[in-house]
Structure 1
Amino acid sequence: MALGSVAIGIGIFTMHVVAMIGFSVGEAEIGYDTLTTYTSLLVAVGISAVALFLVSLRRYAWLAVLGGGLALGLGVASSHYVGMMGMRVAGAVRYDQRLMLISAAVAVVVSAAALLCARRVRHMGASLAAALIMGLGFVAMHYTGMAGMTVSLYSDAGAVGSSSLGTLTPLLIGPVLLLLLIALFVSLDPMMERDGRRKWGTRPGEGTGEKLEWIPFERR
């Protein structure tokens, strides 16, 4: 659950930062506050942990999925707007409240659908479907929120801008490396389990915990 929370949180953060690399306001220079930007990462990880905890509850399955979807969706929206608070531009930033609510609603609905898919079905296809739904939903939430944002530049904002690539790329290095390590760990875990069963002669579903010596069959 901890690894899942960190993975989802980093995924939300990485999507947001990569999208903001491609964002520009005319020729104005855009900067980002490091502390506020990383705070959005912590918000995403924390809310993901709450959502996974809720959806893991065995009782009240539908309420767990709805609660997890609500928590994760609002967490994604909160992480997005906290990240936007870290943007520094010489202008006044305004948001359309209707599109803000729509973006949050999109995140909640998609999160609930993805968590339901991941909870109800236990095979690789369902996991991939949940990941696809969640990823596309988070992207839709991001651009819906950005569509409701307007920036009115100050008259003395200047005309020389700089790319956000050099500013935001260093912020991605640590989270992306951690995400790759989590992916490697998760991918190796089933292999380690199979090796353990092969070594001790156990089969899937045998939960006795007793270690059995593996004796190869020799045909005579």
Structure 2
Amino acid sequence: MTATVSNFYYGAVTLIAAYLMACLGAGLGLRCTTRSLRRPQRRAGWLALGAVSIGCGIWTMHFIAMIGFSVQGALVSYDMTKTLLSLVVAIVVVALGVFLVGYRGVSSVNLATAGTVTGLGVAGMHYLGMAAIHTNGTIGYDAPTVILSVVIAVAAATAALWAAVSIHTLWASLGASLVMGVAVTGMHYTGMAAVSVHLTGVAETAQSSTDLLSFLLAMLAGPLTVLLVSAVIVMFDPDMLLNDEDWDRAAPAQQGTGAASQARRPSQPA
């Protein structure tokens, strides 16, 4: 028997919260990559923080949205190992793309390669997270809808990576993060539209939404903390004291001062 599946067990609140998490991760990632370009000597650190922010944002979006997932007549639980592995996958694949464009730029070939790898990885994270689901039924997928979700993931990842190294102003980054949030959340719900559940037995007990909610909230605590720490680092970075136009004027002056200091420095005796 095919069960009725819902992605909005708690109404629109999970959709809104998931979207906001996707936007937060994207926004922090964009600001971190901007700082990596402004501070080449610390590029690796800022790119790593940006990758972790985006990866945690995507993963958090996915599992907040999954709080609203329910199957009528079936118990739903999650395998902890696969759930945590999906978080690792999200961070690693985003890091691959971010470091690739952060160090090699956004030429057509480079951007296409990074976007494809990252997009496939994000889709892999989504379906690995779905594979972590345990229920008294068999989960099936509509192939064309799955393919569409993967295409959306690749397109969203490519756009995100382009924005990461091409958009530098604060307001442009905020606008880009809102658009990226739509794309990433849209990918998730497109993938969820492909899901069907065929019940193979009857649940012995009633669904405990409280237990499931407690598990997912416990899983979300770590990534949410990481996003909070990342936000604090970005907000209190000295660069925030300058707006983007001020930085663009100050950077050449600082470089000139450094060059002049080098010129005045006496040579060391042999």
Inter-partner Cα distance in structure 1 for 2:155 and 2:122? 12
The aligned residue for residue 102 of structure 1 is: 148
TM (norm. structure 2) is 0.70
Does residue 13 in structure 1 map to residue 59 in structure 2?
Answer: yes
1:22 deviation in Å?
0.5
Find the residue that maps to 2:71 and give its secondary structure: coil
Does residue 171 in structure 1 map to residue 215 in structure 2?
Answer: no
Q: Is the 2:73–2:202 Cα contact (8 Å) retained in structure 1?
A: no
Q: Is the 1:57–1:64 Cα contact (8 Å) retained in structure 2?
A: no
Distance 1:64 1:184, change over 3 A: same
Of 77, 82, 87, 1:41 maps to: 87
| 1:30-179 matched pairs, under 5 angstroms | 30-58=76-104, 61-158=107-204, 160-163=206-209, 164-179=212-227
1:192 deviation in Å?
7.7
State how many pairs are aligned. 203
Inter-partner Cα distance in structure 2 for 1:111 and 1:126? 17
Q: Is the 1:24–1:30 Cα contact (8 Å) retained in structure 2?
A: yes
Higher helix share: 2
Unaligned runs of 5+ in 2: 1-46, 243-249, 262-270
1:191 deviation in Å?
4.9
Superposed CA offset, 1:127-172 (max 9, x none): 1233222221111111111111111112322461011312211111
Inter-partner Cα distance in structure 2 for 1:21 and 1:193? 39
Distance 1:192 1:150, change over 3 A: closer
- Of all paired residues, the percent bearing the same amino acid is 41
Q: Is the 2:74–2:202 Cα contact (8 Å) retained in structure 1?
A: no
Inter-partner Cα distance in structure 1 for 2:200 and 2:106? 53
Inter-partner Cα distance in structure 2 for 1:166 and 1:27? 20
Distance 1:134 1:192, change over 3 A: closer
The aligned residue for residue 213 of structure 1 is: none
Q: Is the 1:95–1:148 Cα contact (8 Å) retained in structure 2?
A: yes
Q: Is the 1:117–1:129 Cα contact (8 Å) retained in structure 2?
A: no
Unaligned runs of 5+ in 1: 195-202, 211-220
